[in-house]
Structures are given as structure tokens and as C-alpha cells.
Amino acid sequence: MENYNSSRALILQMLKTRMAFRQALQRVLKRNNIDMTFEMLQVLSCLWQEQGVSQQILAEKIAKDKACMTNLLANLEKKNWIMRQEDLTDRRNRLVYLTPAGEEISNRIRPLIQDFYTQTGKQMGIENLNACSNQLQTLYEILSQF
């Protein structure tokens, strides 16, 4: 019973931490007058790494279903932050790119996100960060086996 209670408490703490993370990032955006949801930030963050990504790949990376992803991308298009283009090699796919306005908002956001992570790291300390990350990796590997 002790393993059950401890495992359950850990999972619940992870879920609470995930929610606190989302809320903290949304507060950072709001304080800086950036009208953007957490999900929009996730898409833009993926596009910072690689542009010309298919909608399907983006959906997998941010764990959203196809319908949610279509709506999310439509909202990003309305803000003129992204554009979708037909994939010339596979007409079933639409590839997603940042627009110049998307690049501009990204350049505003990146320093805020970097500061967010830097401040979090300073408060936790590098040893705690590494230990926590290693433990979460272990938990991920265990959960992936189920």
C-alpha cells in the first residue's frame, strides 16, 4: 500500500506541477501584453526549432488531436503568425511556417521564456534540476512500459 500511495502522490504532484507551469507561462505572457494561449506558444516553440513541419507532426509534438490542431492553427493564422502551404511532395499534407509577424512575436517571446527558465533554474539549483530530471526520465521509462 505504501508503494501505491507514494506512486499516486508523485503522479498527482506532476500533474499539479504541469498546471502550475502552464499558468506561470501564461502570466509571463499576460504581464508582457502578449495575447497568446499556452497551446499557441507550444506551436510557435516547435516552429522555432523547425519550419515547414506538417500539421500531423505538430499535433504529435504538442499532443493534440487533429481537430484541436486545425482550430489552433486557424487561430494562429488569424493573428497572422503562421501560414499553411500545401506540401508539393504530398498534397494531403499542409506544411506550417512562421510569417514575418510570427517571427516578430517569436523574437519578443524568446527572451521572456529564456528568463523564465533561467530564474527557475537559479531557484532550484543545478544539482536539484539534474536529479529531478534524471528521476523523471526514469519514471517516464517505467510508464512507457505499460
Give the whole-number percent of the chain exceeding pLDDT 90.
90
User: How many residues are there in the chain?
Assistant: 146
Closest CA to 128 of 24, 9, 136: 136
pLDDT at 124: 95
Closest CA to 32 of 101, 110, 107, 109: 109
DSSP annotation of 80 reads T
| Residue burial 97-119, b: 16+ Cβ < 10 Å; e: rest | ebeeebbebbeebeeebeebeee
Which residues are CB-contacts of 113 (< 8 A; sequence separation ≥ 6)? 25, 28, 45
Q: What is the pTM of this model?
A: 0.84
Q: What is the CATH number of domain 37-144?
A: 1.10.10.10
> What residue segments make up the domains of the chain, in order of their start?
37-144
CB count in 10 Å sphere of residue 146: 4
- What is the per-residue pLDDT across 54-66, written as a single tens digit (0 to 9) for each? 999 999 999 999 8
> In which residue are the cell numbers 499535433 written?
59
Which residues are CB-contacts of 72 (< 8 A; sequence separation ≥ 6)? 39, 40, 43, 64
Residue pair 87/93 in contact (Cβ under 8 Å)? The answer is: yes
- What is the per-residue pLDDT across 101-128, written as a single tens digit (0 to 9) for each? 999 999 999 999 999 999 999 999 999 9
Cell of residue 45, nine digits:
516553440
Rounded (10°) angle between helices 55-62 and 66-78 = 110
